[in-house]
Chain A
Amino acid sequence: MNKLLQLLSTNSQFSTAELSAMLGEPEDYIKAQIKEYEMKGVIKGYQAVVDWEDIDDSHVEAMIELKVSPKRETGFDDMAQMCMAFDEVESVYLMAGVYDFLLIVKGESMQDIAMFVAKKLSTIDGVISTGTHFILRRYKDRGMNLFEPDKQADERSLIL
């Protein structure tokens, strides 16, 4: 795997000097690489992984399964685009398995999301059925432990 991208994907806040030291490449090269990845869209952006539960009670997320009938000309793409257009929709994935799309949807309350699914999603032409799963708690997100991040105290002791 590309080590530069791997490092940035775990922590985008490394300085180019640190990246250069860790990877044993000149700093200019690292800067140029990052720029190229950004230009080509390999790096799509930089975001903080936020534990919303910590600061914001009025924040609910749900995974929504969608069964649809694909269109003759455009397959699933049209449907995906329709879903993507909603601000409430965070992510859209085409899936293999018993349903077609998986959507991650954000809202202020369960009611909020339920209304969004009932009124906006299920009424799109071609949607056969929906299934809504609310996220109750995040234990691990994007490789990070949200369960007890502070509890990773060093339990090692010096024995010799």
Chain B
Amino acid sequence: MDYKKYLNESIQSVSPSGIRKFFDIANEMDDVISLSIGEPDFQTPWHIRDEGIHSLIKGKTWYSPNRGFADLLKEVTRYYERRFNLTYSPTEQTLVTVGGSEAIDLAFRVLIQPGDEVIIPQPSFVCYEPLAVMAGGVPVIINTKNEDNFRLKADDLRAAITPKTKLLVLPFPNNPTGAIMERRDLEEIAKVVKEHELLVLSDEIYSELTYGGRNHVSIASIDGMYERTVVINGFSKSYAMTGWRLGYALGPAPIIEQMTKLHQYGIMSAPTTAQYAAIEALKHGDRDVKRMRDEYDMRRRLVVDGFNDMGLSCFEPLGAFYVFPCIKSTGLGSEEFCTRLIMEKHVAVVPGTAFGECGDGFVRVSYSYSLKHLKIALERIREFVKELKDENNG
């Protein structure tokens, strides 16, 4: 039976994620050291898990309200006020979702009309482009550059805008580059957004993971941007709660209202147990966030230093838990570098091309691993790079 003619064409046109390939190879080998995983290595802090367990013991096993529990909505808005100086109404401007990803999908689907252009800076998380396509949009890619520390530049944004442009995706702190956008960068972007009356989807899932004393700034806090921005965030990265599947969206009431409707029909409500745990996370988790951030920061420094030392230049990433070293000096492309690295040294990293064509010449290295693990991996990569150099010279 030919299922192709039954299946939706635009969904068939979307290709599966390219990160998987190397992970599958890695799974076949015995002593592979992986630096490819994009989630925290920490377990969810115990007091947070305990609240989830406690809710089960008390028999809290029903659906939550569509938007999420009132206590959680209140805590989310309190958190955004205290951390990022942004005030949202818990009853009208907040929606709890199944991870940040659902919120991104909802925002695309309620905002995009067929043919609308969605500007997506790359390298970036693999879901924006396919989700935009599946919502009927036309992705327009901006390549951010190493020499700009992979920040989005206002001129590049301006050049990408057409009369059909509706939405800008702002994925910072960035996966896979580790780039952040500081206030002055955002002010430049905001000018262009306002001039062209665009909307912004600000994916702030890594907002707690910024380093070097730089706190995350939300573009929604820039003058005139509050009414143009849908903020996406969640518990996965900041509280090491990936498996709980809990995120949220904050934004103008009319947009959140439509997203809530879609969420109501498609999902009904986010997981109840996870919401009880998340309330505890927001109330009493600040110390855990700091502890994990400090630990990531040390690993980050070690890994950046390691790559620069072995001759793979690596700009200093100030966010998330990835470094994005340039491997052009080896003479290999990203895919070949990664394939040979895993075959010859059994170390798995992800080719930059998985996050957009402009990622060629780079690899994504996750430092969401123990220091011990990172040291062994760096040593193996160092050997690999040295052997490549000898090969090129010989």
Contact = CB atoms under 8 A, between A and B. Distances in A.
A23 to B, nearest CB: 7
Interface in B360-375: 371-372, 375
A11 B34 contact: no
A18 B37 contact: no
A41 to B, nearest CB: 26
A23 B371 CA distance: 13
Nearest to A10: B371
A85 interface: no
A18 B375 contact: yes
Contacts of B19: 158, 160
B75 interface: no
A154 interface: yes
A24 B39 CA distance: 25
Contacts of B23: 157-158
A3 B298 CA distance: 10
Nearest to A20: B305
Interface residues of A, number: 14
A18 B302 contact: yes
Given A22-B298, A160-B126, A154 B305 contact: no
A156 interface: yes
B38 interface: yes
A23 B298 contact: yes
Given A11-B371, A18-B375, A156 B37 contact: yes
A43 interface: no
Nearest to A18: B302
A160 B372 CA distance: 25
A154 B34 contact: yes
Interface string B125-140: 1110000000000000
A22 B302 contact: yes
Contacts of A128: none
B41 to A, nearest CB: 7
Contacts of A94: none
B301 A23 contact: yes
Contacts of B371: 11, 14, 22
Contacts of B39: 156
A154 B366 CA distance: 14
Contacts of A82: none
A contact patch SS: loop
B334 interface: no
A22 B125 CA distance: 27
Given A21-B306, A160-B127, A154 B37 contact: yes
B306 A158 contact: no
Contacts, number: 42
Contacts of A7: 298
B20 interface: yes
A89 to B, nearest CB: 33
A32 to B, nearest CB: 19
Contact of A21 (B34, B125, B294, B302): B302
Contact of B36 (A11, A24, A158): A158
A130 to B, nearest CB: 35
A21 B37 contact: no
A23 B294 CA distance: 10
Most A CB within 10 A of own CB, among B34, B125, B301: B301
B41 A21 contact: no
A24 B38 contact: no
B162 interface: no
A24 B211 CA distance: 12
A21 B38 contact: no
Interface in A50-97: none
Contacts of A23: 298, 301
A108 B305 CA distance: 47
B305 A21 contact: yes
Contacts of B298: 3, 7, 22-23
Contact of B301 (A21, A154, A157): A21
A155 to B, nearest CB: 10
Contact of A156 (B41, B304, B305): B41
Interface in B153-169: none
Contacts of B299: 22
Contacts of A22: 298-299, 301-302, 371
A73 B356 CA distance: 77
15 contacts: A11-B371, A21-B301, A21-B302, A21-B304, A21-B305, A21-B306, A22-B298, A22-B302, A23-B298, A156-B37, A157-B37, A158-B36, A158-B37, A158-B38, A160-B17
Given A18-B375, A160-B19, 10 more contacts: A21-B302, A21-B305, A22-B302, A23-B298, A24-B301, A154-B34, A157-B23, A160-B17, A160-B126, A160-B127
Interface of B: 17, 19-20, 23, 34, 36-39, 41, 125-127, 294, 298-299, 301-302, 304-306, 371-372, 375
Interface of A: 3, 7, 11, 14, 18, 21-24, 154, 156-158, 160
By Cβ-Cβ distance, the 8 closest A-B pairs, closest first, are A21-B305, A158-B23, A22-B298, A156-B37, A22-B302, A21-B302, A160-B17, A22-B301
